[in-house]
Amino acid sequence: MAILVVAAHDNKAIRANVANAVAAATKLGSDVHVLVAGKDCGEAAKAAAALQGVTKVLQAEDAAYAAWLAEDVAPLVVKLAPNYSHIVMAADSVGKNLAPRVSALLDVAQVSEAIQIVSADTFVRPIYAGNAMATVQTADKVKVVTIRPTNFKAVGGGGSAPIEQIGGEGSKGLSSYVGAELSKSERPELTSAKIVVSGGRGMGSGDNFKILEALADKLGAGLGASRAAVDAGYVPNDYQVGQTGKVVAPDLYIAVGISGAIQHLAGMKDSKTIVAINKDEEAPIFQVADYGIVGDLFQIVPELTAAVDKK
Amino acid sequence: MKVLVAVKRVIDYNVKIRVKADNTGVETANVKMSMNPFDEIAVEEAIRMKEKGAATEIIAFSAGPAQCQETIRTALAMGADRGVLVQTDAELQPLAVAKLLKAVVDKEQPGLVIVGKQAIDDDSNQTGQMLAALLGWSQGTFANKLNIADGSIEVKREVDGGLENVKLKMPAVITTDLRLNEPRYASLPNIMKAKKKPIETLAPDALGVDVAPRLKVLKVEEPPKRKAGIKVKTVAELVDKLKNEAGVI
């Protein structure tokens, strides 16, 4: 049976992590379909059709899908489900919102945030903020799985799968989209950036994040933060890296003024190289850092910014 | 309007967990247990609604072994009015908990259910969405701010790009994110008063719910350990290492 990847998108473009979800799907079977449900979502459907390994794109046009409300998209996925062995989504804020609703309507369990596919019915997933790894097996007929994007290497483009138009299911009238307050940034998106610079409570204020912005801009890096910095109001919620925020695994992660609470480590310890800058030499962040530097971040960060080459 | 909140008993967030030697799970014997932090936020939000006059009664629900009474008592001490415990020693997975919650919601008919967005033990992030699906209700997940007005509820949600606003028809299920509020501590007089508040105990069978786990846990292991690296003295040394040793800049 085929695998269905449900793509998160903004009608124009699909999210980068759809390519990671397709990569996971190709490990489960060779017939991978992608559902693009939206309004005027032809461009997004084309982008999905170009992903390597995709055999067919299902484009569902319906005004009800314009803002991707789970109450309205879930019935469509449920209707398609009998044709599939697996339904796969990236474990981002879209997948986390939708997949459990689909699972419950199908009366099946969901495997959340799989980091490894052992076999078609067996997955490894982190529990306790990544302090333990559980291998779980599901016997359900349709297996609903969200995957952690950073653990599956994205497939490339260049493909040309056929796009099939399917109808929508209309609106349930339970919810409506009012608007969004999205952070505007020219910097790379956190979860796909090659380098991430993050600040913690040690930054002292939101204003002080300027020195991190300067470093991030020089390195072409994404900008993140610890929960403590977000809770203190230094930066918006979408900066948060950790167990309950975003999970990142860049080539280089620079943790500045971050002590290294378990829940923060859960979001970044798969980074290839970790640098920690902290005035407290006992800070737990140094236990996971490849390179640590103990000292005043307000001196070290500008010095580092001056010392690295512009990307 | 009645508000139902769900509270889960989990290993305290300050405890460093240990994987059992036989790889069947995580050691829970003689370990400090507490209310799941996201559920504390749910309880707090319900209490604030009651203080503002938007809610009339708060029911704290939990499911699991007899000790979950303590978790419900904590919610009662914070300000919930009464408790419902579905008592079982069986392993409970999110779909089963959602079904138990649905059975209690059918009985109690609350106008709103507030639950934590995820529990810090299994990190599933499923129960609220599953409950909304089973009830055919709207869902406001990862809530950062709530505003009830004329039979609907506006939810500001924490999403990947920032914040999103949705308007939900009530009744609805809300799942809490970190910035929704800062939960209060229960005062000593309120802890004493909570001892007198009623807790109803039910069995899954009596609610007609099959709680058998759907996911089989084959093994639980320690994650691969990351080795601590080295400390460097100067920025110049750091840049040199990043360029020539790690090759990342």
Report the alpha-carbon distance of residue A111 to residue A100 in Å, rounded: 9
pLDDT at site B227: 85
Residue of B nearest to A130 (CA): B223
| Overall average pLDDT of the B228-247 stretch | 95
Extract the runs of DSSP E, i.e. beta strands, from chain A: 2-6, 32-38, 54-61, 84-90, 110-114, 116-119, 122-127, 132-138, 143-147, 163-167, 175-182, 195-199, 222-225, 252-256, 273-278, 291-294
ipTM above 0.90, yes or no: yes
Burial class (CB in 10 A: 0-12, 13-18, 19+), B161: middle
Q: And the tokens for A29?
A: 């079977």
Q: What is the pLDDT of residues A232-271, one digit of tens each?
A: 999 999 999 998 899 999 999 999 999 999 889 999 999 9
Report the alpha-carbon distance of residue A267 to residue A278 in Å, rounded: 19
Neighbours of A306 (CB within 10 A): 12
Helix ranges, A188-296 (H): 210-219, 227-231, 262-265
- Angle of helix A297-307 relative to helix A210-219, nearest 10 degrees? 20
Contact B229 A290 (CB under 8 A): yes
Give residues 124 to 163 of B whose Cβ lies within 8 Å of A: 124-134, 136-142, 144, 154, 157-163
Residue B52 near chain A (CB below 8 Å)? no
Burial class (CB in 10 A: 0-12, 13-18, 19+), B171: buried
Q: What is the pLDDT of residues A72-118, one digit of tens each?
A: 999 999 999 999 999 999 999 999 999 999 999 999 999 999 999 99
pLDDT at site A309: 83
Which of chain A's residues have a Cβ under 8 Å away from the Cβ of B229? 274, 289-292
pLDDT at site B45: 98
Residue B209 near chain A (CB below 8 Å)? no
Of B162, B167, B235, the CB nearest to A178: B167
Contact B229 A292 (CB under 8 A): yes
Q: How far is CA B157 from the centre of its chain?
A: 16
Which of chain A's residues have a Cβ under 8 Å away from the Cβ of B127? 100
**Mutate: best of B153, B242, B243, B244, partner A, most A CBs <10 A:** B242
B165, B154 contact by CB (below 8 A): yes
Q: And the tokens for B8?
A: 């889960």
Which of chain B's residues have a Cβ under 8 Å away from the Cβ of A126? 123, 223
Helix ranges, chain A (H): 18-26, 42-49, 70-80, 93-106, 210-219, 227-231, 262-265, 297-307
Nearest CA to CA, how far is B221 from chain A (Å)? 5
Contact B163 A113 (CB under 8 A): no
Which of chain B's residues have a Cβ under 8 Å away from the Cβ of A238? 158-162
Mean pLDDT estimate for chain B: 97
Of B117, B165, B217, the CB nearest to A180: B165
Contact B94 A122 (CB under 8 A): no
Contact A129 B123 (CB under 8 A): yes
Which of the two residues, A310 and A64, has the higher pLDDT score?
A: A64
Nearest CA to CA, how far is A28 from chain B (Å)? 18
Nearest CA to CA, how far is B195 from chain A (Å)? 31
Report the alpha-carbon distance of residue B204 to residue B100 in Å, rounded: 7
Nearest CA to CA, how far is B74 from chain A (Å)? 22
Residue of A nearest to B180 (CA): A231
pLDDT of residue A311 exceeding 70, the answer is no
Nearest CA to CA, how far is B139 from chain A (Å)? 7
Of A126, A180, A219, the CB nearest to B164: A180
3 state SS of A168: coil
Which of chain A's residues have a Cβ under 8 Å away from the Cβ of B230? 290-292
Report the alpha-carbon distance of residue A206 to residue A222 in Å, rounded: 16
Q: What is the pLDDT of residues B166-190, one digit of tens each?
A: 999 999 999 999 999 999 999 999 9
Neighbours of B33 (CB within 10 A): 15
Contact B120 A243 (CB under 8 A): yes
| Overall average pLDDT of the B203-219 stretch | 97
b/e per residue B207-233 (b: at least 16 CB within 10 A)? bebebeebbebeebeebeeeeebeebe
pLDDT at site B158: 95
B207, B103 contact by CB (below 8 A): yes
Residue A104 near chain B (CB below 8 Å)? yes
A103, A144 contact by CB (below 8 A): yes
Comparing C-alpha atoms, which of B82, B66, B67 is closest to residue B5? B82
Residue A230 near chain B (CB below 8 Å)? yes
**Mutate: best of A9, A92, A93, A230, partner B, most B CBs <10 A:** A93
Give residues 60 to 89 of A whose Cβ lies within 8 Å of B: 69-71, 74
Q: pLDDT band at B228, cuts 50/70/90?
A: confident
pLDDT at site B2: 98
Burial class (CB in 10 A: 0-12, 13-18, 19+), B206: exposed
| Overall average pLDDT of the A277-283 stretch | 97
Q: What is the pLDDT of residues A172-214, one digit of tens each?
A: 999 999 999 988 888 998 998 999 999 999 999 999 999 999 9
> What number of C-beta contacts closer than 8 Å exist between A and B?
253
Comparing C-alpha atoms, which of A260, A308, A236 is closest to residue B246? A308
CA atoms in the 13 A half-sphere facing the CB of B155: 29
Report the alpha-carbon distance of residue B158 to residue B163 in Å, rounded: 5
Residue B209: which region, alpha, beta or left (left: phi > 0; alpha: psi -120 to 50)? beta
Report the alpha-carbon distance of residue A221 to residue B15 in Å, rounded: 34
pLDDT of residue A310 exceeding 90, the answer is no
Task: Reply yes or no: is the peptide bond before residue B171 cis, omega within 30 of 0.
Answer: yes
Residue of B nearest to A107 (CA): B95
Q: How far is CA A28 from the centre of its chain?
A: 20
Q: What is the pLDDT of residues A145-155, one digit of tens each?
A: 999 999 999 99
Q: Which residues 6+ apart lie within 8 Å of B29 measured at CB?
A: none
Report the alpha-carbon distance of residue A14 to residue A25 in Å, rounded: 16
Q: How far is CA B232 from the centre of its chain?
A: 41
Mean pLDDT estimate for chain A: 96
Q: Which residues 6+ apart lie within 8 Å of B8 measured at CB?
A: B35, B36, B39, B62, B64, B71, B116, B119, B121
Which of chain B's residues have a Cβ under 8 Å away from the Cβ of A274? 226, 229
Q: And the tokens for B15?
A: 């405890």
- Position B183, amino acid: P
